[in-house]
Structure 1
């Protein structure tokens, strides 16, 4: 992959690089349209403003997972990233920059509410929503990614999409890259992915499928392009009809860039749930604030004396985990 793959979006000009948006901008006119439109394992450094919806989810100021901005107040991430604690104010999200060594370039927002999908268990239902205390101000480096249109009967996913994250470049690496990595990965057909992870399934149909309908697989098994530890909950973004759409969240897998593709939470499957949670948010605000206030008083002193554990990667680990 080389720099020729990086193109400016079709609409816009160089003067737009420093553009800003208010949260009053219609989401449909803002999402999925970065200024740039064109290493995760086998990838390369991402260009600034190419993936403006990418966020770093932090626990006690340490990166634990990725996530995607989907509106001026909401982040989509993986449920397994939140297993250490479900107390919202322990978490922050960092967005607006691609360089972990230059945190001053980005902005930090605190999390006010965590919503875990009710079916979450192990690798099933691995999706969660984070509501931020304050609204995000859009700019060329901070923009939401689009969600699929639920009114469409079928979303045609392209043959390849893009993954991004600050995860390891190789499974055996001890260190993590400081700059956001990107890689283009082929989408792998559902049954083919099932056969790879569950080779006995065709002979023993009574065996529970490994790859559920709520999952999607992607990865270049020939060139070793894949996600790895530290990439958990990072977006699988597809360019469809001129905009970028969030198709998946990095969830789990076996190895990094080897014989098994990465498995992603199929975000389009949970589209109605996401829309429902966000649309009810304003009604639930008073209850949420009461909840936060009571827990803040209870845990404030604990926070001052808490010696946080060092994030070990994914909260869920299955030979290869994807959260750092």
Structure 2
């Protein structure tokens, strides 16, 4: 899921669909069993171009209930068309028997947030009437069903566990509904109003507990009553299947007014939800979200879990304690896969490996940035032993590594074509703030980052410029980091009037200048670069508050590039203890009306910084842009 925006110049597409394979003999949904024939005729296998990708349920003769993330991409754009979608109902094997329904109309919840997966609900009107009795839906007066000690059942055709195949056989498993207070600490995006969680996780990846998994998304969580089943949840998101944390479900009762209104014709698809979900604040008015803590390795995992809920194209592994080889990672990971870290000793931790297993398909590629001094040979062997294909991009030094990464960005992210705007970014090799601050551009657009010393253009950068002859070169920082001689050397290679200088008197001011350029010059051109299946995105949607001063902060900001790379956003950099916000930063986001997200713990981004950022995003306390 969330990976369907396409480069118009490269036509690189990552599908929502991973067709299910034959069922494992242990019949795990995770840790479940086969459903009896005829037990759940209202269960729908959501088929994309004939392959099973999500679950769903029949709630009226011509209406199917599923998850919004099954029909929308990472930008909230339509990810599938009606002619691609069908449903298999009244069967316990999606490949045979039953009734096939085709889609006539797809309606996602109007307040669905692709970043937080909030309001993860969608309806599909079908051409044919289902010849089954629809499942009943929980109402607003049935809160007791959505809390302990309720034991609910989840059914689906999804993966049998993290990094495992799906099932042709319909599987079922009983799970305990958990209290909101239990679920909230696992997920920074948790919303009591719209979400519930259920599951019986273990702490052992080799022995997962009872849970839903990838491919079950959109399917039903329900309870059995004497009168029949009542659906209380829709499979939405989670971490490693059956391990660590319960799974998260959209809470059906919250959306009953919208569902009933759409099905009954009283609410139109372009109208807001008339129920409680429609009253939630959004944009700058939304409560700031905080992602991660103080550990960069764990923070990178937390951001990956926030963004990637389905198969990624590949993964990127970098050093968390040494910045030089990692700086090109924002453009390479872009919106295609997680950017994760080894620890300070260069070793691959079990949680990081588990996150790669969750997001990158078996046999997929993991790029390692830098040599064995940055990411150990042992870490590489662990990945290989786990079945991944490892590609190490490591040169004789940081400049050469950056060039190798840049060429891979062209080959992989841009499909062998020139990067957007026929551009490249040149940053100072001796420090990290400028190179990570530009991640808001390099990650979203897939523009490579080269490194150079201050006084003369580095050889690898010169070689890249000579080979590819970009017509736009973004140079980061003033003369103190990239001298005039370097600028002159660049123009001698690429020609006059090819430089765009993004700089300020400090790292904070340079970052603010990058934000202004991104917001006003680049984002309005999105429709020329990307193919949008809905309305073109012309403004960033999130403001990420990041610490640009603390010595170890580079890893937190670099990992945050996977957030802006997927949903589109800008960085709001903070100095010192992360409490003071400079006026140039407030002005750069003025009136954006975007949600504010704090990256890392309060020692990186203080709570005191969030209110002025919210106000500026709402157009207050700043000069209009």
**TM-score under structure 2 normalisation?**
0.36
- TM superposition shift of 1:86: 4.4
Cα distance change, pair 109–47 in 1 and its aligned pair in 2 (3 A): same
Report what 1:133 is aligned to. Answer: 127
CA drift at 1:59:
1.3
Corresponding position: 1:181 with 2:171:
yes
Query: Do the aligned residues in 2 keep the contact of 1:251 with 1:264 (CA within 8 Å)?
Result: yes
> Could you list the per-position Cα deviations for residues 126-159 of structure 1 after superposition, in whole angstroms to 9, with x for gaps in the alignment?
1000000121223xxxx31101244x37454452
Which residue number in structure 1 is paired with residue 151 of structure 2? 160
**1:62 to 2:42 alignment:** no
**Match of residue 602 from structure 2:** none
Contact 1:232 1:314 in 2 (8 A): no
Match of 1:257 in 2: 242
Query: How far did residue 282 of structure 1 move?
Result: 11
Q: Matches of 1:224 and 1:261 in 2, distance apart?
A: 9
Alignment of 1:276-315 (within 5 A): 276-280=261-265, 313=311
- Alignment pair present for 1:230 and 2:222: no
Task: Return the alpha-carbon distance in structure 2 between the equivalents of residues 106 and 153 of structure 1.
Answer: 32
Task: Please say if residues 56 and 67 of structure 1, whose CA atoms lie closer than 8 Å, have aligned partners that are also in contact.
Answer: yes
Indicate the SS of the match to 1:191.
helix
Q: Which residue of 2 aligns with 1:71?
A: 60
Q: Which secondary structure state, in structure 1, belongs to the residue aligned with residue 137 of structure 2? A: coil
1:90 correspondence with 2:84: yes
Please give the alpha-carbon distance, in whole angstroms, between the structure 1 residues aligned to 2:191 and 2:121.
Answer: 16
Change over 3 Å in CA distance of 1:108–1:313 after alignment to 2: farther
Tell me if the contact between 2:220 and 2:234 (Cα under 8 Å) persists in the aligned partners. yes
TM-score by length of 1: 0.67
Aligned to 2:102: 110
Secondary structure of the equivalent of 1:70? Answer: strand
Paired with 2:129 and 2:177, the residues of 1 have a C-alpha distance of 34
Partner Cα separation in structure 2 for residue 193 and residue 127 of structure 1: 19
- The CA distance in 2 between the partners of 1:176 and 1:153, in whole Å, is 33
CA separation of 1:314 and 1:107: change in aligned 2, threshold 3 A:
farther
- More helix as a share of residues: 2
2:230 corresponding residue in structure 1: 245
* Unaligned segments of structure 1, at least 5 residues: 1-38, 199-208, 285-311
**Is the counterpart of residue 195 in structure 1 residue 180 in structure 2?**
no
User: Bigger relative contact order, structure 1 or 2, given CA contacts below 8 A and separation 6+?
Assistant: 1
Cα 1:153–1:64 change in 2 (3 A) is closer
Q: Is the 8 A contact 1:64 1:313 kept in 2?
A: no
Secondary structure in 2 aligned to 1:58?
Answer: strand
Q: Deviations over 1:238-273 (max 9, x none)?
A: 124542111001100110000111000111110010
Cα distance in structure 1, aligned partners of 2:172 and 2:312? 20
- 1-side partners of 2:312 and 2:156: how far apart? 14
Q: Is the 8 A contact 2:58 2:130 kept in 1?
A: no
CA distance in 1, matches of 2:138, 2:36: 25
Match of 1:121 among 113, 116, 124: 113
* Coordinate RMSD, CA, aligned: 2.7
Matched residue count: 238
Q: Is the 8 A contact 1:248 1:265 kept in 2?
A: yes
* Separation of aligned partners in 2, 1:186 and 1:213: 19
Does 2:42 match 1:53?
A: yes
